[in-house]
Amino acid sequence: MNPESTSTPGGKRPLVSIIIPMLNERDGLATLFDRVEKSIQNTPVDWELVIVDDGSTDGTRDVVTQELKRFSRWRVVGLSRNFGQQPAYRAGLAHATGDAVIFSDADLQDPPELIPQLVAKWLEGFKVVTGCRTSREERGLRRFFFDLFHQTFHRLTGGVMPPNSGMFSIVDRVVVEHLLATRETNLFLPALKCWYGYPQTTISYARKERAVGEPKQSFVKLLRYALDGLFSFSDLPLQWIGMTGAVLCLLSLGYAGVLVAEKVLQLFGFFPSLRVLGFTTLAAAIFFFGGLNLFALGIIGQYVARIYRETKGRPLYVVESILDSEVQKKSSTPKNPA
Ligand code: UDP
Ligand code: MG
């Protein structure tokens, strides 16, 4: 987008909303806001902060509201309980008024110092600019599963989103409107924001370790998130089940043919006796095919559960409170004495 093209007759600069979801992030807030402010001040845009408190229990909502008072444009959307990172980002989208939005986690793993690069690419005309991780500081099992997910996702979906990317990005209003109009309960925004098309590009960066505290996406939450991504962007697993079934049918037909041929040859005296399968072979075959059936059912179940969730049409999140810089300004303005 060209800044001039969004300028109002009054010559206003484009507005960028920075959406940050938070679950118990009170300890890192001061540094986060300092770094975001320093970084975005160097860009030719106006900005607002849209904080979504996803049911924090450590007082994040109050601390955030205090910290934000030094900024001119902000909103704190408080959800009624913990709904998860993706619904929290979706709530932020619904309350962002910018010509573009930046998605950023609160833990400083994605350095705010990259915001000027995101904004510059957006001003060049790209509708989605995504941060791609050239390296990660996470180690151990978490790291292993992150890598496994990104490789599998890329293979299954044929690259709907840039490899090794996540939420950290800037998205133009035109795409935001599509996201708002898309009614999906099994949300996987990292890929969905890229799915609509339009000119897109990436920036590269090294992903840091969390600045403070423990990861708020537990292993179970991350697994559900990964499965939502895989199953809502690919039906290849269903095709694989069909193909495995077809291959197994062909193999068993072939094996039946071999057994019949042996029987006929034996009748003509070519074999002294019929081969008899041992118990171990039979037991192994029964366990194997039983397991394969359950596995296939499990994969189909993943799709069925998601269809079920979609058809219920429950809201993705419930907003309990909204605090706004405008409302705060009005309420703190001294009233004229009568
Ligand atoms: N988060 C949230 N709700 C949740 C879990 C996480 O709003 O249920 C927020 C969290 O506070 C952080 C961002 O989502 O701002 C990413 O969480 P985290 O750093 O734990 O996840 P990871 O780095 O493993 O993706
Ligand atoms: Mg994180």
338 residues of the chain, pLDDT tens digit each = 444 444 545 678 999 999 999 999 998 899 999 999 999 988 999 999 999 999 999 999 999 998 898 898 999 999 999 999 999 999 999 999 999 999 999 998 999 999 999 999 999 999 999 999 887 777 777 788 888 888 888 888 888 999 889 999 999 999 999 999 998 989 999 999 999 999 999 999 988 878 788 888 888 888 888 898 989 999 889 888 888 888 888 888 888 888 888 888 888 877 666 566 677 778 778 888 888 888 888 889 999 999 999 999 899 999 999 999 877 666 555 444 33
The reply to whether 245 and 199 lie within a common domain is no
Alpha helices, DSSP H, located in the chain:
3-6, 29-40, 60-68, 85-94, 115-124, 140-157, 173-181, 189-195, 219-233, 236-267, 279-312, 325-332
Whether 322 is covered by a domain: the verdict is: yes
Residue 226, ligand 1, Cβ within 6 A: no
Contact of 49 with 36, CB cutoff 8 Å: yes
For ligand 2, an ion, list residues with CB under 5 A.
Answer: 105, 107, 109
Within-domain flag for 229 = no
User: Which CATH number fits the domain that encloses residue 158?
Assistant: 3.90.550.10
Would you say residue 19 lies in a domain? yes
Q: Which ligand is nearest to the CA of 217?
A: 1
215 in ligand 1 pocket by Cβ < 6 Å? yes
Same domain, 241 and 126: no
Question: Do residue 328 and residue 306 come from a single domain?
Answer: no
Same domain, 191 and 303: no
337 within a domain of the structure (yes/no): no
Rounded distance between C-alpha atoms, residue 298 and residue 287, angstroms: 16
Is the same domain home to 281 and 322? Answer: no
Across-strand partners of 75?
Answer: 50, 324
Ligand nearest to the CA of 26: 1
Q: How far is the CA of 94 from the centre of ligand 1 (A)?
A: 19
Number of domains in the chain: 2
> Which residue range is the domain that position 173 belongs to?
6-222+316-332
What integer pLDDT is reported at residue 8 of this predicted model?
47
Question: 47 and 178 share a domain?
Answer: yes
User: How high is the pLDDT of residue 119?
Assistant: 96
Distance CA 104, CA 50 (A): 10
The DSSP element (H or E) to which 281 belongs, if any, is helix 279-312
In a domain, 228, yes or no: no
| Partner residues linked to 15 by β-bridges | 46
End-to-end CA distance of the chain: 48
Rounded to the nearest angstrom, the distance between the alpha carbon of 133 and the centre of ligand 2 is 13
* Residue 22 amino acid letter: M
Which residue is closest in CA terms to ligand 1's atom 10? 22
Q: Is 22 in the pocket of ligand 1 (CB under 6 A)?
A: yes
Ligand having the closest approach to the CA of 142: 1
Q: Is residue 133 part of a domain?
A: yes
CA of 38 to the centre of ligand 1 (A): 23
* Same domain as 174, residue 321: yes
205/265 Cα distance (integer angstroms): 69
Query: Mutation test of ligand 1: which of 32, 207, 216 has the most ligand atoms closer than 8 Å to its C-beta?
Result: 216
CA of 213 relative to ligand 2 center, distance in Å: 10
Residue 83 lies inside a defined structural domain of this protein: yes
Cα gap 191→176, rounded to integer Å: 13
Domain co-membership, 290 together with 142: no
Examine residue 99 and state whether it is found in any structural domain, yes or no: yes
Q: How far is CA 68 from CA 29, 42, 128, 308, 333, in A?
A: 10, 19, 27, 40, 17
Pair 27, 98 in one domain: yes
Do 183 and 250 belong together in one domain? Answer: no
Question: Ligand 2 centroid to 139 CA: how many Å?
Answer: 13
Tally the residues of the chain: 338
> 213 and 303 share a domain?
no
Q: Which atom of ligand 1 is nearest to the CA of 52?
A: 7
20 and 51 Cβ atoms separated by less than 8 Å? yes
| Domain co-membership, 27 together with 159 | yes
**pLDDT value for 278:** 74
Mutational test site, ligand 1, from 60, 105, 189, 317, max ligand atoms within 8 Å of CB: 105
Of the residues 33, 49, 64, 85, which should be mutated to test ligand 1's pocket, given the most ligand atoms within 8 Å of the CB? 85
Q: Which residue has the tokens 């109050």?
A: 62
CB-based burial, 41-69: b 16+ in 10 Å, e otherwise: eebebebbbbbbbbbbeeebbebbbebbe
